[in-house]
Amino acid sequence: MLLRRHGRLPNLFLRPTPLRSLPSSPSSQRFFAEVASSEKSQDVAILGAGITGLTAAYYLARETPDAKITVYEAGESVGGWMQSKWVDVEGGRILFEEGPRTLRPQDNGAVTLQLIQDLRLIPEVQVSSVRSPAAQNRFIYYPDHLVRMPHPSHGLVKNIYNLITEPVFKGGLNAAINEWREEPRSTTVTDESVGNFFSRRLGHQVTDNLVSAVMHGIYAGNIYQLSVKSLFPAAWFLEKEYGGVLKGLAQLRGEQATIQQKRMVPIAEEFGSGIHLEPDFRIALAHASVYTFQRGLGSLAETLKDRLVHKHNVQMKTNTAAQSVAYKPNSPTIELKHSGSESTDQYDCIISTLPANATSKICCDPSSTTPRVPSLGLIPSVTVMVVNLFFTNADLVQTPGFGYLLPRSVPFDQNPEFALGVIFDSYAAPEQDSVPGSKFTVMLGGHWWDGWDAFPDGEQGIAMARTVLARHLGIVDKPVATHATLQRDCIPQYTVGHEDRMKQAHRDLESGYRGKLKVAGNTYAGVGVNDCVRAGRDVARSVARGLKSANGQQVTRETGLQSFIDDEGFRVNYHGRKKD
């Protein structure tokens, strides 16, 4: 749930958008061949060995085999929040995910699927069908019971009955009428919170009951702080261009048109037809809701690491933290000081995949502690505790499904633990464990813990999770295996003004580092694994273009954030007759 994005565009490789009007782009194979032909030998440092850093290192090593690449990771292990833990229980073993657990194949997911194929991980992929209980049954807990969200498989009568009788949907009909009648925002408004936008257009009840639940599942965030322009860009665009979301959708349908975010155009150009995937893999994904791996999502990071350690031009340095990055104007290199050496190392380019505030802290002028890119230090994040529990009783869930989310409107006495949601892992990823049972993940905290100086420890977290399951699901059995992980500052919060801050960060990086320092990761243009994989690949290609250039200099304007300026907004694609 934490990874699911909203406001998605159509599936780009299973249901391709017609691309006749799009300029053709070079194939990946031609791009790799051109870059690999470079004979330059230069040094690149990658800060952070999470999924973004590992992906960047993989593609950079592949595209520039003569470059020397050093990956620095402050911790002992790689993969960032993607950690899969095997636990032995009587009769076999089970898998606990400390972070994300499933991926979606749409949009930026096309890049991940290509990577999976390149890494030969296809045999390990486990697909959850759109017809599975996990895909068809998703719940919200309100005010004191589970409410199944409408789905075509439930039938029209049941869906209508739920919409009429369940309090969580109260105000839904008025919301639709109000959305159509509501005047568009003032042209002077440059951004707005998710909560304010949808309260204005749909009403407070729908916003607090439904929208906040979705945001708890994806960002663990406060809807009255998160940016609607960044997180619901299509809704923001439709209101501006057509006067409202429903009005815009109606007009587009009448014109046989769709909208496409400009940042997604390169993905549509490269992967629109889906021919990049092996036929059997495409067939398996044709009706996929989500997918994972037999060994958990952590196996993607581990496989990348295994490939990298066998590359002659890649060096992995764990337990080595970046301490400072310095660049002198017009210098051919950029300096990195790290915990593994008393001296500084010189690089032709540095890619930072660290959280933005960490990057801001190490990017200071040599003679002061003033950050050179202060805008990167303005992106907050939230802490989430992930609690895994396994029970031997395989029938603890009365209605199989993916799990449930808790909105901000749930009464306090129903959620004093500040739970965000519960995943029914036995149905979300049913084929990983070797023994039957019921497996759950309870997510606690997020924005509810903002400002806290201390957090629950593991034992307290497990006790809180058990209380949540007892109150909400009536589960009083004792789990035979538990695991709690406190993920500090794990989910960046794209708060109001995020895009403006990213534009400023781009300008600061452009003027201060002249292309020598580039950034990528979940702090900027998407918090999901798929977003990070694409960001890692894109920044690697950017560096490769510089390394293969005539003078080996990095393209000054390419900072990793240039898309916030170059690819802002949407385009309208007309699929029928041309607009008059």
Per-residue pLDDT reduced to its tens digit, 388-411: 999 999 999 999 999 999 999 999
Q: What is the pLDDT of residue 36?
A: 43
Q: What angle do CA 302, 538, 103 make, to 5 degrees?
A: 50
Q: Is the pLDDT of residue 17 over 80?
A: no
410 phi and psi angles, rounded to 5 deg: -65, 135
Summary mean pLDDT of the chain: 89
Distance CA 118, CA 401 (A): 32
Q: What is the pLDDT of residue 275?
A: 65
| 308: its two tokens | 């990298």
Average pLDDT of the residues in 279-302: 94
Distance CA 488, CA 480 (A): 26
Long-range contacts of 235-241 (CB under 8 A, 24+ apart): 235/7, 235/197, 236/197, 237/569, 237/570, 239/184, 239/185, 239/201, 240/184, 240/185
Helix (H) or strand (E) holding 325, with range, is strand 322-326
Write the Ramachandran bin of 7: left for phi over 0, alpha for psi from -120 to 50, otherwise beta.
left
Q: What angle do CA 429, 434, 435 make, to 5 degrees?
A: 100
Contacts (Cβ under 8 Å, ≥6 apart) of 511: none
pLDDT band at 155 (very low <50, low <70, confident <90, very high): very high
pLDDT band at 277 (very low <50, low <70, confident <90, very high): confident
Distance CA 519, CA 524 (A): 9
Q: Measured between alpha carbons, how far apart are the two ends of the chain, in Å? A: 43
Q: What is the pLDDT of residue 575?
A: 85
Q: What is the pLDDT of residue 370?
A: 75
Judge whether 420 and 222 are in contact, CB under 8 Å: no
Domain map of the chain by residue range? Answer: 39-79+299-376+495-566
Q: Is the pLDDT of residue 74 over 60?
A: yes
Helix (H) or strand (E) holding 483, with range, is strand 481-492
Judge whether 540 and 555 are in contact, CB under 8 Å: no
Q: Is the pLDDT of residue 258 over 70?
A: yes
Q: Is the pLDDT of residue 414 over 90?
A: yes
Give me the CATH topology for the region 39-79+299-376+495-566: FAD/NAD(P)-binding domain (3.50.50)
Establish whether the linkage from the previous residue to 133 is cis, with ω within 30° of 0.
Answer: no
Q: Please state which of the ranges 7-16, 288-297, 445-454, 567-576 shows the lowest mean pLDDT.
A: 7-16
Q: How far is CA 555 from the centre of its chain?
A: 27
* Helix residue ranges per DSSP H, 37-108: 51-63
Q: What is the pLDDT of residue 547?
A: 84
pLDDT band at 305 (very low <50, low <70, confident <90, very high): very high
The DSSP string of 438-460 is: EEEEEEEEGGGGTT-S----HHH
Q: What is the pLDDT of residue 255?
A: 93
Q: What is the pLDDT of residue 18?
A: 34
Single out the residue of 534, 549, 539, 512 nearest to residue 46, CA to CA.
539
362 phi and psi angles, rounded to 5 deg: -90, -10
Per residue in 466-480, pLDDT tens? 999 999 999 999 999
Per residue in 501-510, pLDDT tens? 999 999 999 9
Locus of tokens 């309090």: 167
Q: What is the pLDDT of residue 365?
A: 67
Average pLDDT of the residues in 450-464: 97
Distance CA 145, CA 141 (A): 5
| 256: its two tokens | 């046989």
| 79: its two tokens | 């993969």
Total Cβ atoms within 10 A of residue 504: 18
Q: Is the pLDDT of residue 577 over 70?
A: no
Single out the residue of 386, 405, 360, 381 nearest to residue 491, CA to CA.
381
Contacts (Cβ under 8 Å, ≥6 apart) of 422: 403, 404, 440, 441, 442, 443, 468, 469, 472, 473
Average pLDDT of the residues in 509-525: 94
Q: Is the pLDDT of residue 126 over 60?
A: yes
Q: Is the pLDDT of residue 310 over 90?
A: yes
Q: What is the pLDDT of residue 249?
A: 95
Q: Is the pLDDT of residue 22 over 90?
A: no
Long-range contacts of 500-505 (CB under 8 A, 24+ apart): 500/190, 500/191, 501/375, 501/378, 501/379, 502/375, 502/561, 502/564, 503/561, 503/564, 503/565, 504/375, 505/356, 505/373, 505/375, 505/376, 505/559, 505/561
Q: Is the pLDDT of residue 11 over 90?
A: no
Distance CA 50, CA 83 (A): 10
Average pLDDT of the residues in 60-83: 94
Q: Is the pLDDT of residue 352 over 90?
A: yes
Per residue in 536-547, pLDDT tens? 999 999 999 888
Per residue in 353-393, pLDDT tens? 999 999 999 997 666 667 789 999 999 999 999 999 999 99
The DSSP string of 152-188 is: GGG-HHHHHHHHHH-GGGTTHHHHHHHHHHPPPPPTT
Max Cα–Cα distance, the chain, nearest Å: 71
pLDDT exceeding 90 applies to what percent of the chain?
79
pLDDT band at 25 (very low <50, low <70, confident <90, very high): very low
Distance CA 415, CA 490 (A): 22
Q: What is the pLDDT of residue 340?
A: 84
Locus of tokens 């400009």: 262
